[in-house]
Amino acid sequence: MSHVARDEAFAKYVRQTGMATDAQVEEARTSQAASGEPLAEALVRLGVITLTQKEAVEKKLDGQGVSVIGGCRLIRKLGEGGMGAVYLAERTADGRKVALKILPKKHATDVEFIKRFHREAEAAAALDHENIARGYAAGEEKGYHYYLMEYCEGEALGKRLKRAGALSTREATGLVLQVARGLAYAHERGFIHRDIKPDNILLTASGVAKILDLGLSKNIEEEGATFHTATGAAIGTPHYIAPEQARGEKLVDGRADLYALGATYYHLVTGTTPFQGASVFEVINKHLTEQLPDPRDAKPGIPEGVVLVIRRLMAKRVDDRYPAAPALAADLERVLAAEAPLAPAIDPALSSVAGLAPGRPRRTAAWIAGGVAALALAVAGVWWLSPPPALSPAPPVVVVPAPVPPPKPPEKRIEPSSAPVAKAGAPEDKPDVSAEARSAKAEPPKPAPPEPEPVKPAPPEPVKTPDPAPPVPVKAGPRPEPAPAAIKAAEAAFREPLKADYAATAPSDRAALARKLLEMPPPEDPTSDFIRLRDARDLAAQAGDAAGVLEAVNALAKAFVIDLLAVRAEGLSQLGATRTSEAARAAATACLVAGGEAMDVDRYDLASKLLSRAEAAAKDAKADDLAAAARGFAKDAAAWSKELATMSGYVDTLKARPDDPASNAALGKFACFLKDDWAVGLPRLAKGSDPALKALALKDLSNPEDATAQADLCEGWLKQAEKERTVRRDHILGRARAWFDKAAEKLTDADRERLSKRLGVAPAPKPAAPVVKTPTLVRAPNGRQAVDLIALAENPLTVNGPWQKTGPALFSSAGGDNVNRGSVRLWIPYAPPEEYEIFLDVERLEGMEDFVVGLAAPDGKPIAIGFDGWGQAAGSGMFIDGTWRKLVDRRVFENGRRYSVGIHVARNMIRVMVNAQEIMRHANYASMSMPAHVQVPLKPRGLILGAVRSRYAVRVAMVISNAKTNGEILPR
């Protein structure tokens, strides 16, 4: 494709998707005529699109027109993941159906990667087992590297779980047995999968379980290779990952697959994953540290034999698991025959860190609770978290774990070996039954010592020195950070007992010592405890272990009063070379998250260090998306830092005089126009010295409902935008568009047309005369009659980006902004009956922000439910009594997974289900509401789907009526 043709294709695409207006494209053309650069580069330079958007469009354009590869005609896309897209294809030679995986073009320039890929694909073609989807061949054509596989008709277990929930224990056991047999065959021939999960196991119509993607696995014999099968195994699929993989260990064996199969088994029999969390980091941390929940807590009635097998499979230590897949298969056959497994029952504590050594204290690691997936960072950034003002810093986004409770008083200590367990247990922790059991086994004749204590306690008490009393008040809260001189004086004494450990310099030794320090009982001397945690941070950094750095830093923040952002940045910015691509990706992600948090509170010196390290780690991981995100963030940080530096006098003045007009005006412009943070900036502008901006801000903050006032605000911000360029202009235009959207329905045709032109948006249509139509009914998956909302969806709709209807699915753009929490909204012209159930098949494709469902109450009052995001709320919930009410204190959706969402409206009750599990409810229908920024202009009734800075796919959207009518179709 010539440069001119490519520019034309690029211009057409960004216009159609709403990324750029005609005026912005023409401005970029004028600019590129002088610079000679491609149109895409000019659009990025002018701030019209981001670098990530540019790369996404180019990737889309690159993929157009390819219909035949490797002698196979592509029929349709079956799915897409980190290692490329999979298509159903037909061999032109014989018409046989095959599956064709096409690798991303970014790997085409990596010669070593491609060589390993082809070598391993050819070796995998020799695998021939009933429970493994066969690989046929690998090749390259038209610049695309592909892998040809057996196409199996059936359903992936991941999809089956989403559709039907948990399987019966007998069916699940039979399927896991088949997978174990397939793994035994592969392991014997030197292959491990590294990403066993329900989505990678296909169940054919005849009931045969097939392991998918084994042809892209890493050959065990090739120990020096860095190629890994499932990109993102340590990041993208955390719910099934073995601890050794999560730690980034290079040499893992088939027992990592067995651990993942155990997590899959758990999911199959309970309907839920073993560990849940608000972020990838939190889930992985639980695999590393927390005891496996009993499956029977999630679903009573699971046979004891199934529980014993799952516990053995998911032991934290590799040596505590089944030695190989054949041993597992033998036990599964016994479970199916209602016989006890041959492997002895494992202590439940061996599925947690507490079980690794008797007497070792059980510690809960701390992670970034708001950590985001790498791709989400690349697309969306983290600015939507509503950053606190620079001069009034709010608590950091990172959630520090609850303080460890004070140790038991000395007089209650019975055994020195049990003291660490008592110290480390959190208030909500269940008693460590396994530790008690071990203690009982170790000394059965010693129940007597507690009895003599009341009889003659006096002699032992002086010997035990009652001086340990100080730790009680010290542990009650964070302590002051020790003085540098005290730390330096105590270092040698603290390190002396571990001199041999400190002397070892290999990365694996550094990581091991860091883990040892973190698991060590905290010294009672505060200075020694500070050295322990600081050294753990630095050692983890030297080993390239980002997770270890974060754990140590959060432990420091729990125990001491520190500058959390600075201490975290110091650790992450000195991360050494990582040993695997997974570890490098984790390091890049952690640095991006921390860099974004530093930018939120205007700590640009820290952000610069972190983003530099993030880009380096992303390059090590060959993660172009993360590297682009790091560069984009660094560019923003440099611009924001430079701008803020020019206002240092205003910052100082505002500290002394918070109401100073000139300082408020300058910093209000900085927050609103540059950082797009209107929640922080508007109050400053309202106290500022610029009369026009002050009047606009005061009127804006009053949130007027009158159409004239709303149109005046639109006009006012438009005039302000015309004085600015690039990013500033776009942010102000976004504010103007938000007010136009509110006023549009009530404006005259002439005013609506005039403002539409100035804003560069399509003129809003005139309201049509009301016509009541009865919706056509279809058959829902559960067999009941339903209204297909996708068929009724209007395409496209407005506000910062469209939703597109593609075949039987709806896809949102990744647009949206922080203007009044503006979102990409889709209006569905359907008024449901009084009682109904709405079912959605939802998948977040990229980003980490909100998915919103706007519903219609029987009286026409709109109400809203939000999933994931909503600023610092960082959870899911509803709008109740005019304010956002967080009802779920975690994220619900994980990128790349499809979820079944059910919302039940009946008798003044709203219930929200995700994957057949209730996550929230509200019993006062009348108190619910929908904020103005979620409502769609001109559409006071109907249903709404919304997305903020994230891209969603909705593949099923149906309403089942529980009333006498099926609702009505509304006029468009």
Q: Are 169 and 269 within 8 A, CB to CB?
A: yes
Q: Would you say 194 and 228 are in contact if contact means Cβ atoms under 8 Å apart?
A: yes
Owner of token pair 């230590």: 317
Q: Is the dihedral of CA 470, 475, 479, 484 positive or negative?
A: positive
Which structure tokens are listed for 401?
A: 């774990």
- Distance of CA 83 to CAs 21, 104, 253, 330, Å? 34, 7, 22, 34
Question: Residue 99 phi/psi, 5° resolution?
Answer: -105, 130
Cis preceding-peptide flag for 522 (omega within 30 of 0) = no
* Contact (Cβ atoms closer than 8 angstroms) between residue 43 and residue 14: yes
Active site residue 195: yes
Q: How far apart, in whole angstroms, are the C-alpha atoms of residue 211 and residue 133?
A: 6
Catalytic residue selected from 22, 62, 195, 749 = 195
Could you give the angle at which helices 661-669 and 678-686 cross, rounded to 10 degrees? 150
Give CA–CA dist 179/130, Å, rounded: 10
Specify burial of residue 865 (Cβ count, 10 A radius: 0-12, 13-18, 19+): buried
- Residue 283, Cα to own-chain centre: how many angstroms? 10
Contact 628, 51 (CB under 8 A): yes
Give the amino acid at 495: R
The sign of the dihedral angle between the CA atoms of 654, 658, 663, 669 is: positive
d(CA 100, CA 72): 8
Element (H, E) at 434: helix 433-442
Residue reference for tokens 């007027």: 704
Measured between alpha carbons, how far is 947 from 853 in angstroms, rounded to an integer? 9
Residue 402 has φ and ψ, to the nearest 5°, of: -60, 145
DSSP 8-state assignment for residue 902 = E
Tokens of 436: 């008690």
Contact 623, 374 (CB under 8 A): yes
Beta pairing partners, 951: 846
Q: Copy the structure tokens of residue 880.
A: 């109740």
Among 36, 37, 40, CA closest to 53: 40
Which one-letter DSSP state was computed for residue 132? B
- Which alpha helices (H) appear in 191-253, and where do they start and end? 243-246
- Please say whether the beta carbons of 87 and 77 come within 8 A: yes
Taking Cα atoms as reference points, which of 889, 753, 776, 762 lies closest to residue 830?
Answer: 776
Sheet containing strand 876-880, edge to edge, reads 824-828, 943-947, 851-856, 862-867, 876-880, 883-888
Separation between Cα atoms, residue 555 and residue 547, nearest integer Å? 12
DSSP state for residue 773 in the 8-state scheme: B
Tokens of 883: 């304010």
Which structure tokens are listed for 196? 């066993």
d(CA 611, CA 392): 24
CB atoms within 10 A of CB 816: 27
Q: What is the C-alpha radius of gyration for the chain, rounded to an integer number of angstroms?
A: 30
End-to-end CA distance of the chain: 41
Maximal C-alpha separation, the chain: 96
User: Which residues form the catalytic set?
Assistant: 195
